[in-house]
Amino acid sequence: MDNPVFHIEKLNFWYGAKQALFDVDVTIRPNQSTAFIGPSGCGKTTLLRCLNRMNDLIERTRVEGKIALHGQGLYAPEVDVIELRKRVGMVFQKSNPFPKSIFDNIAYGLRIQGVNSKNDLADRIEASLRKAALWDEVKDRLNDSAMALSGGQQQRLCIARAIAVEPEVLLMDEPCSALDPVATAKIEELIQDLKKEFTIVIVTHNMQQAARVSDHTAFFYLGKLVEFDVTTKIFTNPANKQTEDYVTGRFG
Amino acid sequence: MTEKQPVETRRGDAGVAPASLSRTDLGAAIIRKRSRPGEWLAERGIFAVSLSSIVMIFLIFAFVGREALPVILGQTSNARTQKPLTPDEATKLPADKLAKYIGVSVSELKGYDAETLKTLVELKAEELAQVSNTDSRINTTSWQKMFQPHRWLGYDKPEYIWQPTSEIPKYNCIPLFIGSLKATLVALLFSVPLGVAAAIYVSQLASPKVREIVKPTIELLSGIPSVVLGFFALIVLATILQTIFHYSSRLNALVGGIALGLAVIPVIFTIAEDALTSVPKSYSQAALALGAAPWQVAWQVVLPAALPGVFAACILGFGRAMGETMIVLMASGNASIVSASILDSCRTITATIAAELAEVVFGGAHYRILFLLGTLLFAVTFVTNLVGEMIVHRLKARLEGA
């Protein structure tokens, strides 16, 4: 077996007194896309946000168990969260460009990583916009405000912003939930391309989407991992009855 | 009740009732416009209240402006150009000219007997004879004398002088404007960085526990009466600063400005903190997920996004600093001198009005000029707020990508 990117073992997570994750074990492999599916409140987003420690921002949360990035425990005291987040990028459910120009949106992440020369910035911004399949639509108006873009364009801009800093992993939290089918198709296509360079973890409500874009799928229910396997197996021949009921639309 | 009847039947046997009947009912229900007197009354009431505040501001301005109008129009004159008259010449004058010559009203004049009149005319002649200063022939209430330097008798060069109670009253407003601007500038230089930094810290970086202590404490500052702040500045702050910096005038623009800044900080803090807190969390989350440090997020993402609100906070702070009276009256030294140094005493417009208005002759030149100062102060803050509002709008539009 190839070296896993993330190795999660017996992970438990609490919001205050409420436990959100119960003994979760998942392994995420490089240059593959892993989908987390399950009904609302099943803990899939919580798990995703553990992977770059965004849950740290929420008061009174507690985590137990092991999450390792290439063998290094993420919650170890010596871990620099800022460095971690530079290596594990994230795209949010609702597109959240900064109220700045398109150029500055992508330049922001590069600048905090110390890329300051005009030429370097321009090159890397163009490259990431091309990868996000947005370049042709915005190349003539890089200095316009990002807020003027359409919803789908804004989300692709957020993807471009996340990949511009060349993270190793890209976490996507329901990236298409606020988009129309055309924009969704574009982003799904994008995910297929991005897989070549990045390891992708995607949370989705949409089971067809999981089937289309992911190599592995984890099904969660009420904070527990029910089944984790190759996507084709989960959708065609699940081992667990609950998984079958969910992916065939009998509940959830 | 009768109107409700058909609705009930329809609900009872849905589908059975003919479609046309229910459609007419529905149409009738929508079309019949109900009067809602309660709502109408409440709406008008609120409108009247908000309108009255606008009217109030207008009335205050109109009153202040009216008192200053003769000065504004250049109708006042305090030049003493009359020639002394003998009692014989004086009695030949018409009543109104005589009244003006002596400086009383016509009705008062009629109440005097011949003896009193004679004494008054002699006194006036004596007074006019005593005036040796040629400056007394100058109308010191003209626009030119109020805003341009003049070389007064005994001075080496033209100067801006506010000496409203000297033998030749000098009403040059420039020293007062300089005083106000100096005190305000020091106050803003002191309070804007502190207030905004505190707002950034409390809204972005502080832990909830610290926030719960710091926020109300700073807001409590605004509850301190300005006379108490002035007292503190006068007794404590002035001594401390003089010990540190060794300057000569103990009360000066620095002391007054810093004390003023203490009053302005809560204004700036409260509004800036609100603006920073209301920046969508998604912005800071996006930046954090890119690997930005919390202070980078606060400074590079949240502050720019909250800039319109933070700028509005500074404008309000400016208004408060310009208008604050008691602190500068007590702590700034009140010397009406033209000096760029913040270590010299200064006299602000507001302190001048407060200190002098109670002791002026009602309706006299000094009285009118104090009202002129009030009008100008009003105009300055009004224009500042207007320009500030325009800038805020432009900043907002730029953020929203319009």
Q: Which helix (H) or strand (E) holds B162?
A: strand B162-163
Nearest C-alpha in B relative to A60 = B208
Output DSSP code: residue B233.
I
CA neighbor of A213 nearest in space, from A91, A32, A42: A32
Residue type, A93: Q
Neighbours of B334 (CB within 10 A): 18
Residue A89 contacts B where some CB pair is shorter than 8 Å: yes
Output DSSP code: residue B245.
H
Q: Where are the alpha helices (DSSP H) in B171-280?
A: 174-200, 208-221, 226-232, 238-245, 253-277
- When CB atoms are compared, the residue of A90, A147, A161 closest to B401 is A147
Kindly tell me the burial class for residue B14, based on how many C-beta atoms sit within 10 Å of its own C-beta (0-12, 13-18, 19 or more): exposed
CA A219, CA A205: separation in Å to the nearest integer?
11
Output DSSP code: residue B4.
T
Nearest C-alpha in A relative to B294 = A82
Output DSSP code: residue A3.
P
Q: Is A69 in contact with A113 (CB distance < 8 Å)? A: no
Q: How far is A189 from chain B (nearest CA, A)?
A: 23
DSSP 3-state of B1: coil
Q: Is A239 in contact with A229 (CB distance < 8 Å)? A: yes
Q: Is A169 in contact with A33 (CB distance < 8 Å)? A: no
- When CB atoms are compared, the residue of A98, A112, A144 closest to B291 is A112
Q: How far is B399 from chain A (nearest CA, A)?
A: 5
Nearest C-alpha in A relative to B286 = A96
pLDDT, position B5: 45
Instruction: Give me chain A's average pLDDT, please.
Output: 91
Give chain B positions within 8 Å (CB) of A109. Answer: 290-292
Q: Is A5 in contact with A61 (CB distance < 8 Å)? A: no
156-195 of A, contacting B, C-beta below 8 A: 158, 161-162, 165
Residue B209 contacts A where some CB pair is shorter than 8 Å: no
Residue B291 contacts A where some CB pair is shorter than 8 Å: yes
- When CB atoms are compared, the residue of B292, B304, B398 closest to A112 is B292
252 residues of chain A, pLDDT tens digit each: 468 899 999 999 999 999 999 999 999 999 999 999 999 889 999 999 999 999 988 888 999 999 999 988 999 989 999 999 999 999 999 999 999 999 999 999 999 988 899 999 999 999 999 988 899 999 999 999 999 999 889 999 999 999 999 999 999 999 988 888 888 898 899 899 899 999 999 999 888 899 999 999 999 999 999 999 999 999 999 999 999 999 888 875
Q: How far is B293 from chain A (nearest CA, A)?
A: 6
Phi, psi dihedral angles at A67 (to 5 degrees): -125, 125
Domains of chain A: 6-98+167-247 (3.40.50.300)
Q: Which helix (H) or strand (E) holds A13?
A: strand A6-15
pLDDT, position B7: 43
Look at B290 and A145 and tell me if their CB atoms are within 8 Å: no
Residue A59 contacts B where some CB pair is shorter than 8 Å: yes
Phi, psi dihedral angles at B385 (to 5 degrees): -60, -40
Look at B304 and A97 and tell me if their CB atoms are within 8 Å: no
Question: What does the block give as tokens for B223?
Answer: 């509850």
Phi, psi dihedral angles at B171 (to 5 degrees): -115, 45
Give B339's contacts (C-beta < 8 A, 6+ positions apart): B178, B346
CA distances from B205 to B192, B209, B302 (A): 18, 11, 11
DSSP 3-state of A188: helix
Task: Return the CA Rg of chain B.
Answer: 32
Look at A145 and B398 and tell me if their CB atoms are within 8 Å: yes
Look at A96 and B286 and tell me if their CB atoms are within 8 Å: yes
CATH says B174-359 is which class?
Answer: mainly alpha
Look at A112 and B283 and tell me if their CB atoms are within 8 Å: no
Task: Return the CA Rg of chain A.
Answer: 18
CA neighbor of B163 nearest in space, from B178, B147, B179, B175: B175
Query: Pairing state of beta strands A199-203 and A169-173?
Result: parallel
Q: How far is B180 from chain A (nearest CA, A)?
A: 38
402 residues of chain B, pLDDT tens digit each: 344 444 444 444 444 445 555 666 777 777 777 788 899 999 999 999 999 999 999 999 999 999 999 888 888 887 777 777 777 777 777 877 777 777 777 777 788 888 888 888 888 777 777 666 777 778 888 888 899 999 988 889 999 999 998 888 899 999 999 999 999 999 999 999 999 999 999 999 999 899 999 999 999 988 999 999 999 999 999 999 999 999 999 999 999 999 999 999 999 999 999 999 999 999 999 999 999 999 999 999 999 999 999 999 999 999 999 999 999 999 999 999 999 999 999 999 999 999 999 999 888 889 999 999 999 999 999 999 999 999 999 998 888 765
Output DSSP code: residue A4.
P
Q: What is the largest CA-CA distance in chain B?
A: 115
Domain boundaries, chain B: 1-33, 81-130, 174-359
CA neighbor of B335 nearest in space, from B236, B238, B256, B245: B256
Region at B169 (left for phi over 0; alpha for psi -120 to 50; beta for the rest): beta
Give chain A positions within 8 Å (CB) of B212. Answer: none
Question: What does the block give as tokens for B380?
Answer: 């300055």
